[in-house]
Structure 1
Amino acid sequence: MGDQKHESSRRRDGATLGAARQQRILDMVSRGEIIAVGDLAQRFGVSQETIRRDIRTLDEAGGLRRVHGGAAPAGTVDLTARRPVVERLDVDRAEKTLAAQAALPLFKDGMNVFLGGSSTMLLLAEALTQHTAALSVTTNMIDIATTLRQPAAARSRCSAAR
């Protein structure tokens, strides 16, 4: 009987600690901080899974928004959301173009390469149209396959995306 009482008391104490921890997480997020699971786990001396459960609970209650790797204030824009490639093409376009140009010397005759569906890879495909290496390119983005159909750019295959 004494063990049951002690166990019940321990559960209440754990719930109290959990509620206090969740309130502190909400306080941090309400200041506009985007907080990482690992940082919170270290700060509170609990496992990352415990923090993930706390964040999930607080997200369901509307107190914050769960994001990849942590939490952000409720109502903030999800920066991890993917906008269409055409909307992202002009974001940091100069840097992406420089990266594409810097990558060109890495491509050699006979190489088989995969270009994933992204604005940077589309700019790389455009750069490859001026490159002389005979490549075989596989992509999951129709715009890249279309770009590479230009004469003598590369042999391309477009695979189905899931």
Structure 2
Amino acid sequence: MYAEERQQEMAALIAQKGRMSVADLSELYGVTTETVRRDLASLDRAGVIRRVHGGAVPASAFTTVELGTDEREHTFTGEKERIGKAAIDQLPSVGGSVFVDAGTTTARLAAHLPTDSDLVVVTNSIPVAARVAGLGGTRLHLLGGRVRGITQAVVGDDAIRALRSMRLDVAFIGTNGISLRHGLSTPDSDEAAIKRAMVESAHRVVVVADSSKVGREDLISFAPVDRIDVLVTDTAISDRDCTALTDNDIEVVTA
């Protein structure tokens, strides 16, 4: 196989898998790790992939482009539904208080909240608030502030001040990216600020995110990985990524 053909196949595989390591590519194509690194360097210069520690991710994994709620609602729908349902197991055992972040995956969690629990739910999400408002036994608190149309999330100083006065049992957090180096990340500074306050206000942090987010690094980091207690994701997460996260004391739950 010519180098150009191998590089094209590598690029397609990285795009499909979301992340590939140098070691795995070396074994797959029967070439040395040095050859793989040269191939990845060529693809990186061409803007097709981006080199990361130990491997490569698609160029789209590094992005400042933010998709709207309507667009994200129709991606990874099955995975998000399973993740939302599985995340219910992370609720406080009896009553308690939770924060439910804005996002399409956290909205699936909200749809599975029990209808008869004595639970305080705090959220900055208009869609989540609409889903929770009619649940019997649940006390809903919607943060006030400016609403970002693209995510239907409340952001700004008023919401952050309100969060800083609270101490919640569990925060269910969505993210655009998660990596060991960059932590949890998002493209928008206002979203990052309120997500940071969510993390700081909670005793436990449960991240709900499909496996395509693992290895992604968006513009602004809002929490390091050592602040995460649990990641609820789908079964497509690679063994390598799962091991790396569990080695950093993060419980990984797959659904």
TM-score normalised to structure 1 length: 0.50
User: Quick one: distance in 2 between partners of 1:115 and 1:127?
Assistant: 12
User: Quick one: distance in 1 between partners of 2:43 and 2:78?
Assistant: 40
User: Quick one: distance in 2 between partners of 1:140 and 1:28?
Assistant: 47
The aligned counterpart of 1:33 is: 13
CA contact (8 A) 2:26 2:33 kept: yes
Identity value in percent:
23
The aligned counterpart of 1:123 is: 108
Of Structure 1 and Structure 2, the greater helix share is in 1
Change (3 A) 1:41 1:97: closer
User: Quick one: distance in 1 between partners of 2:79 and 2:135?
Assistant: 26
User: Quick one: distance in 2 between partners of 1:100 and 1:37?
Assistant: 29
Of Structure 1 and Structure 2, the greater strand share is in 2
The structural deviation recorded for 1:133 is 1.0
Q: Structure 2 matches for 1:9-158, cutoff 5 A? A: 24=3, 27-31=5-9, 32-34=12-14, 36-38=20-22, 39-40=24-25, 44-45=32-33, 51=37, 55=40, 58-60=43-45, 62=46, 64-66=48-50, 70-72=56-58, 78=60, 83-91=67-75, 93=77, 96-97=80-81, 99-101=83-85, 103-104=87-88, 107=91, 108-128=93-113, 131-150=115-134, 152=136, 153-158=138-143
User: Quick one: distance in 2 between partners of 1:40 and 1:105?
Assistant: 37
Between 1 and 2, higher relative CO (CA 8 Å, sep ≥ 6) is seen in 2
CA contact (8 A) 1:110 1:134 kept: yes
Work out the number of aligned pairs and report it. 129
User: Quick one: distance in 2 between partners of 1:157 and 1:89?
Assistant: 22
The structural deviation recorded for 1:96 is 4.2
**Amino acid in structure 2 at the alignment position of 1:85:** T
Change (3 A) 1:112 1:79: same
RMSD between superposed Cα atoms in Å:
4.2
Gaps of 5+ in 2: 144-153, 156-190, 193-255
Gaps of 5+ in 1: 1-22
Secondary structure of 1:70's counterpart equals strand
The structural deviation recorded for 1:45 is 4.0
